[in-house]
Amino acid sequence: MGRVGMWCIGARGSVATTAAIGVHAIGRGLAGPVGCVTAGPAFAEAPLAEIGDIVVGGHDVASVPLLDRARQLAASGMVPTHLVEAVAEDLASDERELRPGYVAGLGESQGAALDRLTDDIRSFRERNRLDHVVVVDVSSTEPLPADDPAHHDERVLAERLADPSSAALPASSLAALAAIESGSAFAGFTPSAGIGLPVVRARAEHRGTCFAGCDGKTGETLLRTVLGPMFVDRGMRVLSWAGANLLGGGDGATLADADAVRSKLASKTRGLRSIVGDGVVAPLHIDNVPDLGDVKTAWDHVHAEGFLNSRITLQTTWSAYDSMLAAPLVIDLVRLLALAEAAGRAGAISELGYFFKDPIDSDEHAFHAQSAALHRFATAAANGVRATEAIAGVER
Amino acid sequence: MGRVGMWCIGARGSVATTAAIGVHAIGRGLAGPVGCVTAGPAFAEAPLAEIGDIVVGGHDVASVPLLDRARQLAASGMVPTHLVEAVAEDLASDERELRPGYVAGLGESQGAALDRLTDDIRSFRERNRLDHVVVVDVSSTEPLPADDPAHHDERVLAERLADPSSAALPASSLAALAAIESGSAFAGFTPSAGIGLPVVRARAEHRGTCFAGCDGKTGETLLRTVLGPMFVDRGMRVLSWAGANLLGGGDGATLADADAVRSKLASKTRGLRSIVGDGVVAPLHIDNVPDLGDVKTAWDHVHAEGFLNSRITLQTTWSAYDSMLAAPLVIDLVRLLALAEAAGRAGAISELGYFFKDPIDSDEHAFHAQSAALHRFATAAANGVRATEAIAGVER
Amino acid sequence: MGRVGMWCIGARGSVATTAAIGVHAIGRGLAGPVGCVTAGPAFAEAPLAEIGDIVVGGHDVASVPLLDRARQLAASGMVPTHLVEAVAEDLASDERELRPGYVAGLGESQGAALDRLTDDIRSFRERNRLDHVVVVDVSSTEPLPADDPAHHDERVLAERLADPSSAALPASSLAALAAIESGSAFAGFTPSAGIGLPVVRARAEHRGTCFAGCDGKTGETLLRTVLGPMFVDRGMRVLSWAGANLLGGGDGATLADADAVRSKLASKTRGLRSIVGDGVVAPLHIDNVPDLGDVKTAWDHVHAEGFLNSRITLQTTWSAYDSMLAAPLVIDLVRLLALAEAAGRAGAISELGYFFKDPIDSDEHAFHAQSAALHRFATAAANGVRATEAIAGVER
Amino acid sequence: MGRVGMWCIGARGSVATTAAIGVHAIGRGLAGPVGCVTAGPAFAEAPLAEIGDIVVGGHDVASVPLLDRARQLAASGMVPTHLVEAVAEDLASDERELRPGYVAGLGESQGAALDRLTDDIRSFRERNRLDHVVVVDVSSTEPLPADDPAHHDERVLAERLADPSSAALPASSLAALAAIESGSAFAGFTPSAGIGLPVVRARAEHRGTCFAGCDGKTGETLLRTVLGPMFVDRGMRVLSWAGANLLGGGDGATLADADAVRSKLASKTRGLRSIVGDGVVAPLHIDNVPDLGDVKTAWDHVHAEGFLNSRITLQTTWSAYDSMLAAPLVIDLVRLLALAEAAGRAGAISELGYFFKDPIDSDEHAFHAQSAALHRFATAAANGVRATEAIAGVER
């Protein structure tokens, strides 16, 4: 497979920090790969990078040292203190691979920023002699941007990028462009625009970038896409599916912003509707409850019609550290997008829809169907890599 | 497909009465087949009996008229009153097809009883000119019987059946034998011994009986076999899965009996263990709470280990009329076992494991895998029926 | 005590209809006074009107016959059919005491409407020879009205009432004025303005009207004012108390209106804050989920800080027919306000705060303290009535 | 008030260790007295010992150093690591006041053990110049002992105590006797026999020992005694109240023992029945779920009858570290029993029933009534102490 780098946008955030701790803890044999899908038997034959060999880097607009961030997470009770201390040197070493992210309004034109961000990723690749770099956006969710001609037309965009007074692209899309230009793969783990803007996506297709997204499916939506198909399969009619989400932490504060939350809520119900039908009544709220910290609690109430008009209700309460759910999936995406590259794939890797609330180029939201597609992808990609290597061997 | 009969053991119980109301209500267009799996698109091509054409009969040890029983269910709030009244004549007509069940200790030898029960089913078939009769055991759960040589050896059994002072077989197995001898298919919807005793099963195999079981998977266990695979697929380690079941009604009283409940509890955790691993801590209780009537409420608490030793908890509360969940599945089994017969199948139809907590001849408990197997069965059986009909056409 | 009349604003709504069914069912001995606070031992000595003797009347803007409304409630499963049929004649008789409510914009000046509404109540009193009439507002929750000089100044109000093109008062306040002018007591069971407008309240004080309100405390808020004091008493620090309310029915639709809901949400958290402190994070949502009908389901999640910074969480899920919770309290209020009148009380009866989310003239929200105050009121009022009667006896 | 000692039976257990950490953390100003009832405003005037001044000692049959035990609790995530380290010296110093408990079957007669235990407590008192010592039993719950003449007759007991081959008393009662003989107060925080055996209680009454018990009311039962009165007060009829308790830790293992659990289950439902009526159906289970550690999760399902036979259901899920709930109450009991002694009280202090599932000499289980009684006790005791001090001042 070669050497693989994980470049996080939001590298000092909870998810990226947790993923970095995990890479090192697993690498040192201090923790097993619990929560990593790619550690399962279905992937035993796939030539994936060893988790402990993944090289960590990234952009962030914050500057708190990664090790301090990790210690904050330990103090909050989320990560065991002894684990953080055991990988403290690794995190200090990762620190050297972190670079300042892009912030609008500081006088840097987006064109200049794009060059800078692209160079950061390229030099990360070269310095660490990486065969694959996967850029994963785990930064704070942005509001959906207003539509703009620059989002559709490469020439308009080029003009605007050069103009220091213009911020044509949301930061997530600038990051996606940097990934593309640096020859990396890209995964959008948030509902932000990212690679979804037409002009960015067109560039990715043109450059043969492997990409996947968007918005990681970690908790409540995961449950919904597992339970929804059960009701349908059993012939029951889901009438309503109401949800309440409580969370604190940075994510809670971000999502308390009504604009940012709108894109999140939309992607959360899209899958549900595609499974149980558009007629479902599905009110959904996300509340910022700072005292809960990074523990997310989601309550769902499902009302289904059963035989002879009878009432069936199901309530679920899911409670977990949100970053602990996301981090192993970030590692999975790094391994799988590197695998896709190695197997010669390009463009949207729709079989990775398994990981997302709003899968790119896929209408399949049912969890088990997604899982089957993912397993088929792994098998095919493994075969593809072996074929490529066989050819390479002949040629050599 | 021809004409199909549904012969319920426990024909005056809540489940059978609800199924009978449903058959007629659907037949008269007063209700849709909500909750019937076989009404789904995956079965659109299968030559199944029309639900409204199913002929109803059965055995019961109680003698309350079926219509009175239906009105009791309506008074309890479970079935809409107007529906019961709209099918009152149909239920009165079904009444003529109900026969007394077998009760141990009344002087009738089990051999004589077997002949009587068999004749009842045979004459039901002839009187109604049925092509297929499916016997479904929906009577009260029995305690598991002590082992007995008569359960293993046909000759020992024959001697004991002739002895009026002996009750070698539990009633559910006598009922299964009557199904076999009358040339009917058999489904065991309870955890009772039924067709599971070696001597009974051997007889079924010898006679080419189509059969399936056991213990209908309606609520809490359904959820577990849907959710369990999610945890495994996502690489999480399920540490404990505790459950509390509250129900009243006749079933609550039966299951409050420690002996009867043991078989139920065993079949409820078997599937869970096969999915998430034998190490799971899985305490489970069923409590009789008479004031809850036929509404069953099940609370489950799942504790899983996630990334870096983090804690994930999920609680589910499921609440529904238990008989309303069971009745449409009984109708499904009637349609599908008749289809299996029509397609020339014999013996255990393991693809019907989808419907059961403890599937005969199948170790597959994961819901979506069972669903896929069921769909394959329907397709194959449909093809089988069409092939048989083509041959018959040629021969005619 | 004499004869008592219950005049409902919204007399054809779910709550009033349920209360009427209850009055008659209890009067005929078909149901016990379950859910009526005043049927408890603490009120055994108080000279309250017999529930079955309460005379029913009211205003409503709808015209569906009361008996039809009752049958709709039975069809929805809320009220037992046999009970409705058993009191069908009583409901048909009540029908003769229902009068059209006030609707803005139909050309009737509010002054004319006030006269008409007042006359309706007066003639109800005279026709039925009632000693006490209690007007209870159980109509749909209104949006809070914009402030208006007419709400503060009787002279401005008088001018505006005479102007057919002006609607100075919200309907609930017009109803309260009609109660006052007709010499009745008044209870505001909704968060609508009602008697709370300064000009209306001043009039009530001047006329010596007994009144209480506002917004009946039936479910989630009841629980909060019971559980909140526990946390405080035990020295725990409540950090957050989040709530989700799901309901359908007419109430669900009304409260889906953001304006109407604002007053409801405010009154729902006011009590909580007064008990556990203003710092509590208390997001609260009410969602209209039509398929749930009149069954209201409320989920609350409480996070408290315990010893040495430890985390305590409590979740509650409350599920009940909202009108079934409200109706017996309406009957209680009728009995208790009639008692207050008989005991010579006037003005706000703050001891009835027990029944309300937002008690008039009381800052006490803790349930058990309110209960104690209510019991003291009942004792004192009973003594007051006896004293009055003794004087009357002497004078006679 | 003078100097006060807290002598824990089970001093190296989770509850006692947590209480010791708390005493020191509060004493050093590192934590507030959150969760301590006696820190509330109702006790502001009572002359209670400062929490930080309480001197810690105790018996235990285990020998793991207290500081190691505290570090185990920190590693499990229950207590913050920094807090344990900040009071490490205090815990090391407490270690010097811990003595071996009594273990049956090691050859020591119970008489000799009693003398030894008594001396331990006496010398603790003298060495630390304490004015009051309160012995609190927080050791593992024992099975209820079989009845024995020695439990009723002091002379029989005396003979048996001298016999090295006899173990007439359960360990908890031996501990209570040692408390009595050493002139200390006693609180039974478990359902073990303790001071409840007639012969022990008689001795306590004779010696004028202040005592209270039994079985700390910390979680599920607390909720029940808060919520039960609400249903009653509102005239609703509680039909069933089912409960499921999941916990690991040492307590989970102890309570998985069917004998030990029987006493616990009995004390848990006694209060409920006294509040909502004996007719309530109240199945209750405690399951040992080791992976949950010391976090206890309790689910309750309440079904009540409301107006016109309507169904009301309430579910509660309570989740907290059990020792974190118990420890502050242990501190409260130490402060309050010392206060009772200072105020000249003797015998059962029934006003402390507030703290217990099964209050000695009190039938009052309703939380708010218990709270009121506790507050009256504090006021009266404060007055008693002041009166005593005034007299002492006069005499001096």
DSSP state of C146: P
Distance from CA of A301 to the nearest CA of C (A): 9
| Chain C hits for B292, Cβ within 8 Å | none
Task: Tell me, rounded to whole angstroms, the distance of Cα C324 from its chain centroid.
Answer: 13
- B81 to C77: CB separation less than 8 angstroms, yes or no: no
Inter-CA distances, C150 with A158, C166, C168, Å? 62, 11, 6
Residue C396 has pLDDT above 60, yes or no: no
Distance from CA of C391 to the nearest CA of D (A): 34
Q: Give the nearest chain D residue to B238 (CA atoms).
A: D291
Residues 6+ apart with CB under 8 A from C378: C38, C42, C43, C45, C46, C336, C339
Distance between CA atoms of residues A379 and C18, nearest Å: 64
Place D259 in a pLDDT band, splitting at 50, 70 and 90: low
Distance between CA atoms of residues A121 and A134, nearest Å: 10
Inter-CA distances, D238 with A228, B102, B243, Å? 35, 40, 23
Distance between CA atoms of residues D54 and D22, nearest Å: 11
Distance between CA atoms of residues A396 and B103, nearest Å: 82
> Cβ(B184)–Cβ(B121) under 8 Å?
yes
Neighbours of chain D (3+ CB pairs under 8 A): A, B, C
pLDDT tens per residue across span C287-326? 999 999 999 999 999 999 999 999 999 999 999 999 999 9
Nearest to C139 by CA among C365, C326, C356: C326
| Chain A hits for D81, Cβ within 8 Å | 81
Q: HSE of B295 in the Cβ direction (CA atoms, 13 Å)?
A: 19
The CA-to-CA distance between both ends of chain C, in Å, stands at 17
> Cβ(C56)–Cβ(C3) under 8 Å?
no
| Chain A hits for C285, Cβ within 8 Å | 244, 283, 285
pLDDT tens per residue across span A141-188? 898 899 999 999 999 999 999 998 888 999 999 999 999 999 999 999
Mutation target among C261, C276, C280, C291 for the A interface, most CBs of A within 10 A:
C291
Per DSSP, the three-state class of C144 is: coil
> Cβ(A356)–Cβ(A215) under 8 Å?
yes
> Cβ(D39)–Cβ(D85) under 8 Å?
no
- Per-residue pLDDT at C334: 98
Read off the tokens for B63.
């003698």
- Per-residue pLDDT at A107: 85
Sheet holding D347-348, edge to edge: D98-100, D55-60, D4-9, D132-137, D185-188, D210-213, D347-348
CA-based angle D21:D27:D30, to the nearest 5? 75
> Cβ(C117)–Cβ(C59) under 8 Å?
yes
| Chain B hits for D240, Cβ within 8 Å | 246, 289, 291-292
> Cβ(C243)–Cβ(C220) under 8 Å?
yes
Nearest CB to C291; choose among A240, A289, A291: A240
| Chain C hits for A315, Cβ within 8 Å | 299, 317
Strands B210-213 and B237-247: unpaired
Nearest CB to D235; choose among C37, C222, C235: C37
| Chain D hits for B240, Cβ within 8 Å | 246, 289, 291-292
Mutation target among C78, C81, C291 for the B interface, most CBs of B within 10 A:
C81
Nearest to C88 by CA among C109, C63, C69, C62: C69
| Chain C hits for A301, Cβ within 8 Å | 244, 246, 297, 299
Mutation target among C14, C15, C299, C308 for the D interface, most CBs of D within 10 A:
C308
CA-based angle A223:A229:A233, to the nearest 5? 150
Neighbours of chain B (3+ CB pairs under 8 A): A, C, D
- D234 to C37: CB separation less than 8 angstroms, yes or no: yes
Q: Give the nearest chain C residue to B78 (CA atoms).
A: C77
| Chain B hits for A315, Cβ within 8 Å | 315-317
- A239 to C285: CB separation less than 8 angstroms, yes or no: no
Task: Tell me, rounded to whole angstroms, the distance of Cα D332 from its chain centroid.
Answer: 10
Angle between the C66-75 and C88-95 helix axes, to the nearest 10 degrees?
140
> Cβ(D239)–Cβ(D301) under 8 Å?
no
Computed on alpha carbons and rounded to an integer, the radius of gyration of chain A in Å comes to 21
Residue C66 has pLDDT above 60, yes or no: yes
pLDDT tens per residue across span A179-219? 999 999 999 999 999 999 999 999 999 999 999 999 999 98
> Cβ(B3)–Cβ(B341) under 8 Å?
no
Interface of B with D (CB under 8 A): 239-240, 242, 244, 246, 281, 283, 285, 287-292, 297, 299, 301, 303, 305, 313, 315, 317
Neighbours of chain C (3+ CB pairs under 8 A): A, B, D
> Cβ(D215)–Cβ(D190) under 8 Å?
yes
pLDDT tens per residue across span D21-64? 999 999 999 999 999 999 999 999 999 999 999 999 999 999 99
DSSP string covering A19-37, please? HHHHHHHHHTTSS--TT-G
> Cβ(B313)–Cβ(B271) under 8 Å?
no
- D246 to B239: CB separation less than 8 angstroms, yes or no: no
- A34 to B222: CB separation less than 8 angstroms, yes or no: no
Nearest CB to D367; choose among C25, C230, C315: C230
Answer positive or negative: Cα dihedral of B74, B80, B81, B87: negative
Nearest to B354 by CA among B156, B217, B235, B247: B217
Read off the tokens for A59.
């952009």
Q: Where are the beta strands (DSSP E) in chain C?
A: 4-9, 55-60, 98-100, 132-137, 185-188, 210-213, 237-247, 284-288, 295-305, 311-321, 347-348
Distance between CA atoms of residues B66 and B92, nearest Å: 7
Which residue bears the tokens 């118990």?
D326
pLDDT tens per residue across span C100-159? 999 988 889 999 999 999 999 999 999 999 999 999 999 998 988 999 999 999 999 999
Residue B91 has pLDDT above 90, yes or no: yes
Read off the tokens for A20.
């970095």
Nearest CB to A34; choose among B306, B316, B325: B306
Place B77 in a pLDDT band, splitting at 50, 70 and 90: confident
Residue A220 has pLDDT above 70, yes or no: yes
Nearest CB to C324; choose among D79, D307, D328: D307
| Chain C hits for D34, Cβ within 8 Å | 235-237, 305-309
| Chain A hits for B40, Cβ within 8 Å | 232-233, 235
- Per-residue pLDDT at C77: 86
- D81 to A77: CB separation less than 8 angstroms, yes or no: no
Query: Full-prediction pTM beyond 0.90?
Result: yes
Distance between CA atoms of residues D85 and A122, nearest Å: 46
Residues 6+ apart with CB under 8 A from C267: C191, C214, C215, C357, C358
> Cβ(A174)–Cβ(A142) under 8 Å?
no
Q: Give the nearest chain C residue to D22 (CA atoms).
A: C308
- C283 to A289: CB separation less than 8 angstroms, yes or no: yes
Which of the two residues, A295 and A107, has the higher pLDDT score?
A295
Residue C259 has pLDDT above 80, yes or no: no
Q: Give the nearest chain B residue to D304 (CA atoms).
A: B291
Task: Tell me the one-letter amino acid at C260.
Answer: A
- A235 to B34: CB separation less than 8 angstroms, yes or no: yes
Q: HSE of A162 in the Cβ direction (CA atoms, 13 Å)?
A: 5
Interface of B with C (CB under 8 A): 77, 81, 317
Task: Tell me, rounded to whole angstroms, the distance of Cα C201 from its chain centroid.
Answer: 17
Place A266 in a pLDDT band, splitting at 50, 70 and 90: confident
Which of the two residues, D385 and B324, has the higher pLDDT score?
B324
| Chain C hits for B81, Cβ within 8 Å | 81
- Per-residue pLDDT at C181: 97
Which residue bears the tokens 């069972």?
B370
pLDDT tens per residue across span D78-128? 999 899 999 999 999 999 999 999 998 888 999 999 999 999 999 999 999
Nearest to D243 by CA among D265, D270, D215, D273: D265
pLDDT tens per residue across span A274-287? 999 999 999 999 99
Distance between CA atoms of residues C383 and C365, nearest Å: 26
| Chain D hits for A317, Cβ within 8 Å | 317
Q: HSE of D222 in the Cβ direction (CA atoms, 13 Å)?
A: 25
Computed on alpha carbons and rounded to an integer, the radius of gyration of chain D in Å comes to 21
Residues 6+ apart with CB under 8 A from B125: B5, B133, B182, B183, B184
Q: Give the nearest chain D residue to B315 (CA atoms).
A: D317
What is the four-CA torsion angle of C369, C370, C375, C381, rounded to 10 degrees? Answer: 130
